[in-house]
Chain A
Amino acid sequence: MKDGLASTAVVNAKALGRRLGNFVVSVACGIGVPLAPLEAERWVKGEIDSVSWFATGVTYVAAIGLVSSSSAILIVSLLGAAALAFVYGVNMEMIFAALREHPPHQLPPPDASFAKVGIGVMSCIYLAERSLIHLIDNKPFLEV
């Protein structure tokens, strides 16, 4: 009886380790790799350009939606990515309009706050989805 319980505990510990491994690999591939260019830019230039925030944000929001297992999240994310791209376009248009009227010495950067928050929200969504897939449903990373 004691041996049976011990072997069950070992099997469960192995299963938990495998799930955590799948989850960590999934997070590294889904959050770490797509956002690595931003970190590289910060490392090289010391700051991240607003245009980079928007370019990464729009792609990232759409990509997380595309890999989602829920069709509702897919649709809402694609709409969100399109809206974020629209916001970027409007921001740039306002900056260029101001530039045409009163030419400054340097182009002011567009406000990237919404892109930053969008990336943060999508990262949380990805974490929640992958927790369900790997930790609860126990699906391997390569089978998703």
Chain B
Amino acid sequence: MLGWIPLALLSVAGVISIRNLVNGVRAKYRLARALARDIPTRARLREALSRGDLQTARSILEDQVLALPGPVRIRAVSALDQHSQPGRASYMADLAGRGA
């Protein structure tokens, strides 16, 4: 009977990790889809990325990120925060459809 306590706790951790994964996939998919529709923004993003200007690239994505729903937006902001530093352009390059 006592053995179910650790399993219940680990199940909670499992639910949290699955939720994080789903939110991460949704955030990236939605941002990529929004950019695929918005050709001028995508072009500006590509240009900023080709210059290596990650802060500008991040600010270009602000509007797209703000349009996302609650938990997905939080996840997208976190991912962009982590990828706005030098040498970390791959996430935004993915969104711009360039690969990295």
Contacts and interface: CB of A to CB of B under 8 A. Distances in A.
Interface stretch (A33-41, A42-50, A95-103, A116-124): A116-124
B59 interface: no
Contact of A137 (B11, B16, B83, B99): B83
A32 B63 CA distance: 42
Contacts of A139: 82, 88
B10 A77 contact: yes
Interface residues of B, number: 31
Nearest to A11: B99
B25 A136 contact: yes
B17 A90 contact: no
* Interface of chain B, main secondary structure: helix
Interface in B63-100: 79, 82-83, 88, 90-91, 94, 97-100
A72 B13 CA distance: 7
Interface of B: 2-7, 9-14, 16-18, 20-21, 24-25, 28, 79, 82-83, 88, 90-91, 94, 97-100
Interface of A: 8, 11-12, 14-15, 61, 65, 68, 70, 72-73, 76-77, 79-81, 83-84, 86-87, 90, 111, 113-114, 117-118, 121-122, 124-125, 128-129, 131-132, 136-139
